[in-house]
Amino acid sequence: MKGTAMNETSNLSKFYKKNREERLSLLRDKRFLTQEAMAYFLENNLLTDEIADHLIENQVGQFPLPLGVALNFIVNGKDVVVPMVVEEPSVVAACSNAARYVRKTGGFKAVSGERLQTGQLIFYDLTDVDYAKNYLEENKAEIIALADQIHPSIVRRGGGTQEVVIEIIKDKQGVSQYLTVYLHIDVQEAMGANIVNTILEGLQPILADWLKAKPLLSILSNYNDQTLTTATCEIQVSDLATTTLSGSLVAEKIIRASDYASLDTYRAVTHNKGIMNGIDSVVIATGNDFRAVEAAAHAFASRTGRYRAMSQWQLSNDGKYLQGSLTLPMLIGSLGGAVSVLPIAKLSQELMKTSSSKEMANIIVSVGLAQNFAALRALVTEGIQKGHMSLHANALAIHAGAAGEEINQVAEQLRQKDNMTLETAHQLLEALRDAKKPNELPQ
């Protein structure tokens, strides 16, 4: 027993120095992988080891997700094909369908403001916090000049530190405890994390010496409230009618559902998750940091002190149009990091026909608004499950073991069932295969 436990240890020395096949062999030898699993990892890869090892430590394989395209989009007068990476059925279809409604009224309108990445320098153990704050206020120009000297290349590209904000941060007892210096930096087309952190780490010892204070942290903030993108759209109320509901009633219910999401946190979370279904899918496809985008979006939804719906819906003054609006922090990059390393990210930019980070942000927030409309419309009419489960039938068929033409055949039969389950998929597949067996001749 003791020998088995030792053999299965995850304490693997110098693992990072081995190549991928050696890592997999070691995991197999330590009984964490079967030979079959090892073979799968070795044989199923889109990226070269050179690229994959650059992106992650201890790389042993790759996790594929499907990339689809949402159609029908017009953003700021330009037709757009939108790449989306997601594993959830109905996201791409719902997004494409929503864009079709908006297309009739000219498409989405979107605007992005300044692209400023925010960094923080945090100090503590100051003799006089108020004096230190005033001192830095008087020397903002010098701080900006120093920051530009630390990273001159971003200045040459037209960027650099644009603003310095100094804040006193109090502890839970209301006592002034920290002095925080916020730098708002124009990072041009890059995501900007390395640029910002380089500037911050260069400034930290200088400001610490000025203040005779202890530095706590120097780090970028993912709350990019200095980089906001707004997307708006209009949908003809008459187009919202169903066989049982008038367009005006559907519009009213969508507006009420949106308003309710700002009153109830339980609903707001799911309302906003639907928006992020669309946004994250495009962010991933373009090689950007979806975790940073998620964190900033949810923080922005809580900026009033209460977590609320990210989007707003209302009727136009003449009552003919349902109008939607979505504003979110959207600092994404068109180059640098994984964007420049992943071939699929570059191809996604080609699909979108843009290499502008602002234009990409406009498209991404428009997708979020489209996804929100699709979800709200489904919820207030036929319900969310009808379309979702229809597409889920394919996944159930595959899970049951269907292959090739069997997938569509089993999925189509599943859609006719009142109760769509994996067990039913197994039964349908078995019946399908039995029906294809040649009739046995009598003995």
Would you name the residues annotated as active-site residues? 88, 273, 289, 388
Q: Which of 231, 239, 224 is nearest to 97 (CA)?
A: 239
What is the DSSP-derived secondary structure letter of residue 15?
Answer: G
- Quick check: helix, strand or coil at residue 105? coil
What distances in angstroms separate CA 1 from CA 7, 9, 30, 382, 420, one per listed residue?
10, 13, 14, 58, 45
What is the DSSP-derived secondary structure letter of residue 134?
Answer: H
Helices (H), 212-341: 247-261, 265-285, 290-301, 337-341
N-terminal to C-terminal alpha carbon distance within the chain: 55
Q: Which of 362, 381, 376 is nearest to 107 (CA)?
A: 362
What distances in angstroms separate CA 214 from CA 126, 177, 179, 218, 220, one per listed residue?
8, 12, 10, 12, 18
Q: Which of 38, 36, 43, 8 is nearest to 23 (CA)?
A: 38
Burial 201-218 (b: 16+ CB within 10 A, else e): eebbeebbeebebebbeb
Q: Which of 213, 207, 205 is nearest to 129 (CA)?
A: 213
Q: State the number of CA atoms in the 13 A half-sphere of 290 facing the CB.
A: 17
**CA dist., res. 181 & res. 74, Å (int):** 41
Q: Are β-strands 176-186 and 116-124 bridged in parallel, bridged antiparallel, or unpaired? A: antiparallel
